[in-house]
Amino acid sequence: MKTSELRTKSKEELRDIILTSKKEQFNLRMQMATGSLENNQGFREARRTIARAKTLLNEGTNDVKSVAPKKAPAKKTKAKEKKKD
């Protein structure tokens, strides 16, 4: 499924897509174990669909961040110069 198609979905629909893709991935894994899988392309597509949907879900939650303020940089101290005798 393309990212542009996924962007039109609601959060609940994205969660459903993730769930169905994980089930599909499991079924493909079982087919591979029994030797009845003919095309490995399904693994790649399921994995990428899951990743795309999860990315879009996380994009919506990052709008409001509660980020701790950055620490001030440490003060630089000059190295003591050795006195020559």
What are the boundaries of each domain within the chain?
3-61
The first and second tokens of residue 6, run together, are: 């996924």
Distance of alpha carbon 24 from alpha carbon 73, whole angstroms: 50
Query: Given pLDDT bands bounded at 50, 70 and 90, which one contains residue 80?
Result: low
For 7-61, what is each residue's pLDDT tens digit?
A: 888 899 999 999 999 999 999 999 999 988 888 898 999 999 999 999 999 987 6
Are 56 and 18 spatial neighbours (Cβ–Cβ below 8 Å)?
no
Q: What is the CATH number of domain 3-61?
A: 1.10.287
Which positions ≥6 away from 85 have C-beta within 8 Å?
none
Is the pLDDT at 64 greater than 50? The verdict is no
pTM exceeding the 0.75 threshold for the entire prediction: no
